[in-house]
Chain A
């Protein structure tokens, strides 16, 4: 028996809150996409400057909206990063985590744009 692949995101919570308000729903999708893009750009900038302590703060700020949109895979990555101490953030494993996160969020944004 094969298990269903986990959804990349889940808009049920947003639909519940929108309660039929399509204008609100569209606006929230647009906001999520633009906030993600800004945050990912910010992360790339801080990585280039080796400002790893600031990256945690950026991810911490992104987490609530990512949870609302049901992007569980991204939430798990952020939780992992939150547990890391500064020295571990300089390891290659951390860069890999960030790459995974970026890939997931860009895919989410692409799919949301197509809606």
Chain B
């Protein structure tokens, strides 16, 4: 453990030396003794880890010194060591921020020792938590969490960076498996709120009748079965981020209550009377077209505009052809490392097969395909036969990608050929039997 600084403030020189000598038996403790409050205050700027403070100093009252410590060095722990047994004095000092109160009695030195040990252990735990939080933050460094090299992904990086710098609401849209929660986490863990909670609620996973109590919490006795108070997800996410996934599935009655919470920045638990202020950042996600849902009367327009904030759309994987092999290689590497297997590579035929597929399940499906391919492979190179698609989907099945216009189909075909032949316009024009100038024009206008 690193050095731990302790300041002893004690006007009884004998007792002060006694404590100092005793605590010095731990080589990790760096101890200084002060015989007056004034002397100590002159050194408080050094922000010791811990202060043992005699309440009855002749020059300055212990309560005044405690207050000064709290203002100047809020992280410093304070243990009051006093001859007074008065419980109300002890309670007042604990309320004012003292960490413990020890009466000068026969066993006080061993009690002090144990209290300091406990404080140090908590400090170590706190430091470990901070370290883990930093690691989680690094994990969600968005260029590491969201893999890709396509223009679409680069646009998303830029939007995540903007979103993480402010408290603006974020609405993330995209088909299932495109990484909406990953984006939400990347925003949170790169924002000033990263050390506060990230609370995710999947609106479609919770039964409608339970969703309100899950979000708002309830007081004891609010309804049959409410045996204790429950804190809702809004409160749990306090000072952090609340991620509402599949917001498009929210019941219209509950939408009205959500709107009120967002507008007023406060809530009342079910069965409660107390208004609870809220400070949180809201990110929502849906695979639905909310504008269409508003037109159909399934989603409130006023809520839609409140939630819109900074919109981020995640394209389906088939529109990120550049990224398919990057992701595939990343997933293969991850799987091999997690399962302590030798790393694998992809044959050119296996790569082509992967590039031709439409991925209705998007990134999640690609990961499942790659994990299975690594398991099924007999060697260090993944072959065509190792790439197994689910029975419901067909490779190169544009019709399964959802209905599109002819122009959209054309662009999709051209894009996939350009990706396959590394943007070789002449070659692609020849393969598709179209003019090179047509391809150049489409590229210049950002149509492909």
Contacts and interface: CB of A to CB of B under 8 A. Distances in A.
Contact of B106 (A24, A27, A61, A67): A67
Interface string A45-72: 0000000000000001101110110000
Per DSSP, chain A at the interface is helix
Contacts, number: 43
A67 B105 contact: yes
Given A60-B83, A64-B83, A67-B104, A17 B21 contact: yes
Interface in B12-38: 12-15, 17-18, 21-22, 25
A17 B21 CA distance: 7
Contacts of B12: 35, 61, 64-65
Contacts of B21: 17-18, 21, 24
Per DSSP, chain B at the interface is helix
B105 to A, nearest CB: 7
Contacts of A27: 17
B17 A63 contact: no
A68 B17 CA distance: 12
Contacts of B419: none
B56 interface: yes
A21 B108 CA distance: 22
B19 to A, nearest CB: 9
A84 interface: no
B104 A31 contact: no
Given A35-B12, A67-B104, A67-B106, A61 B18 contact: no
Interface of B: 12-15, 17-18, 21-22, 25, 56, 83, 104-106, 108-109
> Nearest 3 pairs between A and B by C-beta?
A64-B104, A65-B14, A31-B14
Interface of A: 14, 17-19, 21, 24, 27-28, 31-32, 35, 60-61, 63-65, 67-68
Given A24-B17, A24-B21, A61-B56, 19 more contacts: A14-B18, A17-B22, A17-B109, A19-B25, A21-B21, A27-B17, A31-B17, A32-B14, A35-B13, A60-B56, A61-B83, A63-B104, A64-B12, A64-B83, A65-B15, A65-B18, A67-B105, A67-B106, A68-B15
